[in-house]
Chain A
């Protein structure tokens, strides 16, 4: 999974299909990154996500609960329209910030593969 750390913000670039089959390993990968980096803000980027159903909603809800316990801000960014649809349907946008695309090109950052 690709991720980026900029200051105290962790951005996780999700990809592929998020369903019941894949959600367990996705959840574990996100949690490992959060625990290892103790960020103040976590952004889940959905740009490269091809498919997402209610299992993806559960991943976000679980990370939201974690954000309350561990005191970090959670946001979702670059949601494809069909995915934004199901997130709004589940009213997740009332708990978690849904952010529009941003560019970070002139800021110091690093990307790593895990």
Chain B
């Protein structure tokens, strides 16, 4: 059965770390329309924060770039978010998703994908070296 979309947005933003907080605020204002649980909203903010941080730190290696964010809210109170960068890409997605694995410096925990995976209902990562990465998240905003 095809899900009915109740609202959507599509935007581009610069890969600046200040936009991590901006995206969290944006996604919670958007998701609040579905009357989410406090827990779901807090998890959603964390997922989005991790995905945007990944685009900035890994994808664009802290250099300027554009992050593309697309979100759809469905009538069954689920949300789908696509966060895409045109950065360096991930050569080995399986390895990148392992807890504690990081390509960053020692001030990164390597827990981003583990947190995204735990907090979302569905997580898909599509990546091509030199082309970029898309992270697709699906999450229910109501009680499980």
Contact = CB atoms under 8 A, between A and B. Distances in A.
Interface of A: 17, 19-21, 23-24, 27, 51, 53-55, 57-59, 61-62, 65, 82, 86, 89-90
Interface stretch (B76-84, B90-98, B107-115, B121-129): B107-115
A51 B114 contact: no
B108 A58 contact: yes
The SS class assigned to the B binding surface is: helix
B45 A54 contact: no
Contacts of A55: 53, 108-109
A86 B57 contact: no
Kindly list the 3 A-B residue pairs having the minimum CB-CB distance in the complex, ordered from nearest: A21-B17, A58-B109, A57-B109
Contacts, number: 66
Interface in B27-63: 39, 42-43, 45-46, 49-50, 53, 56-57
Contact of B109 (A17, A24, A54): A54
Contacts of A53: 46, 49-50, 53, 112, 115
B118 interface: yes
Interface residues of B, number: 26
A90 B111 contact: yes
Interface of B: 17-18, 20-21, 24, 39, 42-43, 45-46, 49-50, 53, 56-57, 99, 106-112, 114-115, 118
The SS class assigned to the A binding surface is: helix
A69 B114 CA distance: 28
A61 B21 contact: no
B87 to A, nearest CB: 15
Contacts of A89: 111, 114-115, 118
B48 to A, nearest CB: 9
Nearest to B113: A54
Contacts of B115: 53-54, 86, 89
A65 B105 CA distance: 14
9 contacts: A17-B24, A20-B20, A57-B109, A58-B109, A59-B107, A62-B106, A82-B42, A86-B46, A89-B115
Contact of A61 (B20, B109, B118): B109
A90 B21 CA distance: 22
B123 to A, nearest CB: 15
A53 to B, nearest CB: 5
A53 B17 CA distance: 13
